A and B are shown apart, each in its own frame.
Chain A
Amino acid sequence: MNFLNAITLIGNYLFIPGLTYGCQLALGALGVTLIYAILRYSNFAHGETMAFGTMVTIFATWGLQKLGVSLGPLPTALIAMPVGILMTVVLCLVSDRVVYRYHRKQRSDPVIFLIASIGVMFLYNGLIRFVIGPDDQIFTDGERFIITAREFKTLTGLKEGLAFKTTQGITIVVTAVIVAALFWFLNKTRTGKSMRAYSDNEDLALLSGINPDRVVMVAWILTAALATIAGTLYGLDKSFKPFTYLQILLPIFAAAIVGGIGSPVGAIAGGFVIAFSEVAVTFAYRKFVSYLAPESWQPDGLLQLLSTDYKFAVSFSILVIVLLVRPTGIFRGRSI
């Protein structure tokens, strides 16, 4: 029984939050990695792109709520998301037309692209704060839990409860669907294959008659969609605060690089590696040990390796180690 309690405890505080956070990071890292694979630079504006998509989704959600539209137990934001995606696609394509296309024509260095993207980041940043403000926005509605801790306890008779939030369930399901669709697109369709070819060998892709403008446009559309979905899922699960989207850029980059930047599989693996490390290192193991160890061994401290304030340090430690030991990342992306 103690063993089951211990497992439940880990599931509740470590596995489910880690899995959810991992999905959100993976979706974010996929967007970063796509831009890196096609346009060959690190897009620092990605966090703000996520925030922008989420912001539009929030406005659409409010609009739908005013009209009395709802999805019952599911959050209304799910049907508002296409509006967010559409607006974000427009934003990305306009930014590409105004900023990045010039540098493509100039064949600028990746570092110039990167700095331009920081400028774009600040622009989005201001735009978002101007429109929706810097405050917290909670836009979740519908059923809060798939199963609450109390329901779980009465169901199983265990001392520990396992809560599973609707937003967590949605995050996992939506991520699985999106990732499957993305991989199908990249591996099975003509356009998807042409994107992989362009990423693999640009000159040969041009010789084969692949149109670079089209590849770049599709890359932006996919990135905008991924960013909006990732941002909305994150906002549903936590809450929407523009500043957190600036912060989340850091673990997202860590995830993309750890997995191997430019590799979609790597982005997903990296997302989970970073998420689980952050959660596992900042988790207090005292209760977990108390279930398993005899009473006389009860620890006095919290058995927490690092305070949660340091969670960003975890992703960066992993990032530094990976860059030192295996600069191309787990799945052999490009070296930076």
Chain B
Amino acid sequence: MSFLTGNNMTGGYGAADILHDCTIGVEKGEIAVVVGPNGAGKSTAMKALFGMLDLRQGEVLIGGENITSLTPQDRVTRGMGFVPQTSNVFTTMSVEENLEMGAFIRQDDIRGTMNQVYDLFPILKEKRRQPAGELSGGQRQQVAVGRALMTQPEVLMLDEPTAGVSPIVMDELFDRIIEIARTGIAVLMVEQNAKQALQIADKGYVLVQGANRYTDTGAALLANPDVRKAFLGG
């Protein structure tokens, strides 16, 4: 039983189910990566964990506590942070205001956390007065991750954090994500760049048509010839 687990999740947006008996979990201080072909239900699985989707069957547990019926907002207060794939920053607000809004539910002093985010992403400190909408794609993703970190979450969920950024920026982002995991946060991410993502993953999930196909450590999945052939391009 992992720290955050979605057990046997079945459900979808309308009448048809997208997820079929899907199980995903992540341990504190580890990185779990969900990969799979387009339309495999990767993002849907993540949304299900975050409560943006009604489950017909299955449950979501955090630290052993059942949170299946909680709204996304309530899950934020239970220590979950979520970075959506698109529209994940307040474009008209400055970088610093984005971080402040990330910490909206906190009543205590947020400056310490803000400095931690700036230490992790030094470029954000430099650009803290600029509107987030004026930043490059990679910098925006940093703002988005920083915003989610402001609640001091125990679990950080990232929906395709490297979508649309260059390979160099992607490596850089992955390095930062490893750093985040080292601080004891559980990191769960959905990725298109399966090969690179699995390289940094402690645990990997290969989904096909909303169901678990392969589940193993990142290294083992990379070494598995079937997985390589079918999902990683040889």
A residues apposed to B, CB below 8 Å: 190, 193-194, 196-197, 200-201, 203-210
Query: In the assembled complex, which residues on chain B have CB atoms less than 8 Å from the CB atom of A204?
Result: 84, 87-90
A197 engages B76 (CB within 8 Å): no
Known: A207-B76, A209-B77. A200 touches B104 (CB 8 A): no
Interchain CB contact (< 8 A) of A193 among B73, B87, B100, B105: B100
- Decide yes or no: A207 and B72 within 8 Å by CB, A194-B104, A200-B92, A201-B87 being known contacts: yes
A-chain residues with CB within 8 Å of residue B102 when the two chains form the complex: 208
Contact A193-B93, Cβ < 8 Å, known A205-B101, A207-B72, A208-B147 = yes
In the assembled complex, B21 has its CB within 8 A of some CB on chain A: no
The 3 nearest A-B residue pairs measured at CB: A209-B105, A200-B90, A197-B101
A-side contacts of B82, CB under 8 Å: 207
25 CB contacts below 8 A, A to B, read A190-B104, A193-B93, A193-B97, A193-B100, A196-B93, A196-B97, A197-B93, A197-B97, A200-B90, A201-B87, A201-B89, A204-B89, A205-B90, A206-B72, A207-B72, A207-B76, A208-B102, A208-B105, A208-B147, A209-B73, A209-B77, A209-B105, A209-B151, A210-B101, A210-B104
Q: Would you call B90 and A201 a contact (CB within 8 A)?
A: yes
**Which B residues from 86 to 111 make CB contacts under 8 A with A?**
87-93, 97, 100-102, 104-105
Kindly state the separation between the CA atoms of A27 and B177 in the bound complex, as whole angstroms. Answer: 47
A206–B97 CA distance with the chains assembled, in angstroms = 16
**Residues of the A chain whose Cβ atoms lie less than 8 Å from the Cβ of B76:** 207-209
Give the residue of A201, A208, A209 whose beta carbon is less than 8 angstroms from that of B91: A201
Query: A190, A194, A206, A207 — which one has the most chain B CB atoms within 10 A of its CB?
Result: A207
Q: Separation in Å of the A202 CB from the closest CB of chain B?
A: 10
Task: Compute how far the CA of A208 lies from the CA of B82 in the bound complex, rounded to whole angstroms.
Answer: 9
In which size bucket is the chain B interface?
20 to 34
- Which residues of chain B are near A208, meaning CB under 8 Å? 76, 101-102, 104-105, 147
Complex-state Cα separation, A200 to B91, whole angstroms: 7
Separation of A204 and B133 alpha carbons in the complex (Å): 14
**Closest chain A residue, CB of each to CB of B98:** A197
CB distance from B194 to the nearest CB of A (A): 26
| B64-93 vs A, Cβ < 8 Å mask (1 yes, 0 no) | 000000001100110000101001111111
The answer to whether A200 and B77 have CB atoms under 8 Å apart is: no
A residues less than 8 Å from B101 (CB atoms): 193-194, 197, 205, 208, 210
Whole-angstrom CA separation of A210 from B72 in the bound complex: 12
Distance, CA A196 to CA B101, complexed state (A): 10
Which residues on the B side are within 8 Å of A206 (C-beta)?
A: 72-73
Note all chain B residues with C-beta closer than 8 A to A205.
Answer: 90, 101
When distances are taken between beta carbons in the complex, the residues of chain A under 8 Å from B87 are 201, 203-204
Query: Chain B contacts of A200 at CB under 8 A?
Result: 90-93
| A246 to B123 alpha-carbon distance, docked (Å) | 52
Q: Is the CB of A197 within 8 A of B90?
A: yes
Residue of B nearest to A212 (CB): B73
A207 and B90 contacting across the interface, CB-CB below 8 Å = no
Output the least CB separation between A213 and chain B (Å): 12
Q: How far does the Cβ of B102 sit from chain A's closest Cβ, in whole Å?
A: 6
Bound Cα distance A107, B105 (Å): 25
Report the minimal beta-carbon distance from B103 to chain A, rounded to whole angstroms: 8
Find chain B residues with CB under 8 A from A207 CB: 72-73, 76, 82, 84
B114 to chain A, nearest CB (A): 14
The residue on A at minimum CB distance from B132 is A200
Least distance between A50 CB and chain B CB atoms (Å): 28
**Cβ distance B156 to chain A, nearest Cβ, rounded Å:** 13
Q: Give 19 A-B pairs besides A190-B100, A208-B147 with Cβ atoms closer than 8 angstroms.
A: A193-B93, A193-B101, A194-B101, A196-B97, A197-B97, A197-B104, A200-B93, A203-B84, A204-B88, A205-B90, A205-B101, A206-B73, A207-B73, A207-B82, A208-B76, A208-B101, A208-B102, A208-B105, A210-B101
